[in-house]
């Protein structure tokens, strides 16, 4: 099959990365895969070989299936020479009511979170295309007892320019614990996608000892996660928490809101579910620090659970459906 996707750009966003991961598997399975963007600029972070074309050239490519992830590309989807038209619902905050006028457009959901929104809010049924994670790129960290004076490293996604990611809630929780005498270190990371994101990082300050890693090679992310003892994701209106899934696949115990994590984060079994308050995050961090046995069990169970959402399994499920 020849499969395509229209993306806004090739920057390192979760919804963009999803199609590089899926595209890699599609190619491995013997299919063609093409990414169309308004500017047609190839990714600077992806190390594989996926064809990128300008959106204006899409008429030259008859396709078996074409995906979009943003409603603004709906007209392009409808005009394209394609057998199956698919809207992949990846952001819980998107308004998709326009799709009710176009039954020829199928809807895929990347998580239970957005599936339920599609059904409840828009009365739209969606194909369950949940996931994913590259389980071959991530492996569990050996969690060892802390030595005297060794800090606990608390890791979170450093997308400061997007408040919905909840980075500052994690920072605030750590600041409160550090003030109380807990020996902590913050580990933040991001690949800035624009000048606003870069400026926010440049101006970031906290009294907690911290490391802010920028532009870390995606293919070596497991090395970064293995610097952490606990990962915290305090998102809201997320479709699928890529960083939460990656941390879990790296054998790092996860504390997170239910936003984007409901398919793999089971409270007190594969991680700890918290509400979006710094005090709740703080208490969860303290609980894991004071109960190292629980920390280890959550890490082990989390790794086993996340294997259900491997990109290869998802790609095969999609191919079988289309």
299 occurs within a structural domain: yes
216 and 86 within one domain = no
DSSP 58: G
Quote the CA–CA distance of 320 and 290 in Å, as a whole number.
Answer: 47
Residues 6+ apart with CB under 8 A from 293: none
| 156 and 209 belong to one structural domain | yes
What is the distance between the alpha carbons of residues 64 and 57, in angstroms, rounded to a whole number?
16
Is 90 exceeded by the pLDDT of residue 60?
Answer: yes
Q: Could you tell me if 230 and 160 lie in one domain?
A: yes
Tokens encoding 21: 């991961």
- CATH (domain of 179): 3.40.50.2000
319 in a domain, yes or no?
A: no
Q: How far, in Å, CA of 154 to CA of 173, rounded?
A: 10
Any idea which residue has 């996660």 for tokens? 225
Q: Which DSSP state fits 239?
A: S
Give me the pLDDT at residue 201, please: 94
Q: Quick check: 33 pLDDT over 90?
A: yes
Whole-angstrom distance, CA of residue 154 vs CA of residue 228 = 6
Q: Does residue 119 belong to any structural domain of this protein?
A: yes
Q: How confident is the model at residue 146 (pLDDT cuts 50, 70, 90)?
A: confident
Element counts in the chain: helices (H) and strands (E): 10, 13
Where among 129, 160, 195 does a domain terminate? 129
Across the chain, mean pLDDT equals: 96
Out of 47-56, 111-120, 144-153, pick the least confident: 144-153
Task: Give pLDDT tens digits for 157-190.
Answer: 999 999 999 999 999 999 999 999 999 999 999 9
Give the C-alpha separation, 120 to 117, whole Å.
5
Q: What pLDDT shows up at residue 143? A: 85
Residue 57 lies in a domain: yes
Query: What local confidence, expressed as pLDDT, does residue 12 receive?
Result: 87
pLDDT value at position 39? 96
Asked if residue 224 is part of any domain, the answer here is yes
Segment 264-301, tens digit of pLDDT: 999 999 999 999 999 999 999 999 999 999 999 999 99
Give me the pLDDT at residue 142, please: 86
What is the end-to-end Cα distance of the chain in Å, rounded?
A: 10
What single DSSP character describes residue 313? H
**Shared-domain flag, residues 293 and 186:** yes
Whether residues 165 and 282 fall in one domain? yes
What secondary structure does DSSP assign to 136-189, as a single string?
A: TT-------PPPTTPPEEEEEE--TT-GGG-HHHHHHHHHHHHHTT--EEEEEE
Q: Which residues make Cβ contacts (< 8 Å) with residue 186, sequence separation at least 6? A: 153, 154, 155, 156, 170, 171, 174, 206, 208, 209, 210, 211
CATH code assigned at 53: 3.40.50.11930
Q: Do 257 and 210 share a structural domain? A: yes
238 and 186 in a single domain? The answer is: yes
Let me know if residue 31 belongs to a domain. Answer: yes
* Kind of pairing between the strands at 105-109 and 82-89: parallel
224 and 299 belong to one structural domain: yes
pLDDT at residue 89 greater than cutoff 90: yes
**CA–CA distance from 69 to each of 20, 27, 267 (Å)?**
13, 20, 30
Least confident segment among 57-66, 129-138, 268-277? 129-138
* Same domain assignment for residues 120 and 234: no
What is the DSSP code (8-state) at residue 261? T
Q: What is the pLDDT of residues 220-261, one digit of tens each?
A: 999 999 999 999 999 998 999 999 999 999 999 999 999 999
Residue 47, pLDDT above cutoff 90: no
Domain assignment present for 74: yes
- 60 inside domain: yes
In the predicted structure, residue 145 carries a pLDDT above the cut 90: no
Please tell me whether residues 200 and 240 are part of one structural domain: yes
Domain end among 95, 129, 163: 129
Last residue of a domain, one of 81, 114, 129: 129
Q: Given this model, what pLDDT does residue 147 score?
A: 87
Same domain, 161 and 244: yes
Mean pLDDT for 45-52 is 92
Q: Could you give the C-alpha distances from 22 to 29, 260, 306, 310, 312, in angstroms and in order? A: 11, 19, 17, 10, 8
- Band the pLDDT of 120: cuts 50, 70, 90: very high
Q: Are 267 and 273 in contact (CB under 8 A)?
A: yes
Peptide bond into 117 cis (omega under 30): no
Structurally, how many domains does the chain consist of?
A: 2
> Residue 30 is part of which domain span?
2-129
Q: Is the pLDDT of residue 148 over 90?
A: no
User: Do 68 and 119 reside in the same domain of the chain?
Assistant: yes
Q: What pLDDT, on the 0 to 100 scale, is given for residue 144?
A: 84
């Amino acid at each position: 099959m020849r499969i395509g996707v229209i993306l806004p750009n090739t920057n390192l966003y979760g919804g963009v990365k999803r199609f590089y991961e899926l595209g890699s598997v599609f190619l491995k399975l013997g299919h063609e895969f093409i990414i169309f963007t308004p500017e047609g600029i190839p990714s600077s972070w992806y190390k594989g070989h996926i064809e990128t074309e300008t959106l204006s050239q899409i008429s030259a490519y008859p396709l078996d299936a074409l995906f979009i992830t943003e409603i603004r590309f709906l007209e392009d989807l409808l005009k394209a020479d394609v057998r199956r038209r698919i809207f992949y619902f990846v952001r819980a905050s998107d308004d998709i009511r326009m799709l009710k006028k176009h039954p020829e457009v199928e809807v895929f959901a990347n998580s239970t979170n957005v599936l339920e929104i599609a059904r409840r809010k828009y009365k739209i049924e969606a194909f369950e295309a949940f996931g994913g994670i590259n389980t071959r790129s991530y492996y569990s960290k050996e969690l060892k007892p802390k030595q005297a004076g060794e800090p606990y490293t608390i890791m979170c996604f450093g997308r400061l320019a997007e408040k919905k990611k909840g980075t500052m809630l994690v920072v605030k929780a750590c600041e409160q614990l550090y003030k109380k005498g807990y020996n902590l270190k913050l580990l933040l990371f991001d690949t800035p996608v624009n000048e606003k994101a870069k400026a926010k990082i440049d101006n970031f300050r906290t009294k907690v000892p911290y490391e802010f890693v920028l532009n870390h090679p995606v293919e070596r992310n497991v090395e970064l996660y293995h610097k952490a003892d606990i990962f915290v994701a305090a998102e809201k209106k997320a479709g699928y928490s890529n960083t939460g899934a990656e941390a879990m696949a790296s054998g790092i115990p996860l504390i997170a809101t239910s936003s984007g994590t409901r398919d793999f984060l089971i409270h007190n079994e594969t991680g700890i579910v918290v509400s979006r308050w710094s005090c709740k995050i703080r208490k969860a961090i303290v609980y894991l620090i004071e109960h190292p046995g629980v920390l280890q069990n959550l890490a082990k169970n989390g790794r086993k659970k996340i294997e259900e959402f491997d990109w290869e399994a998802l790609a095969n499920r999609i191919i079988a459906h289309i």
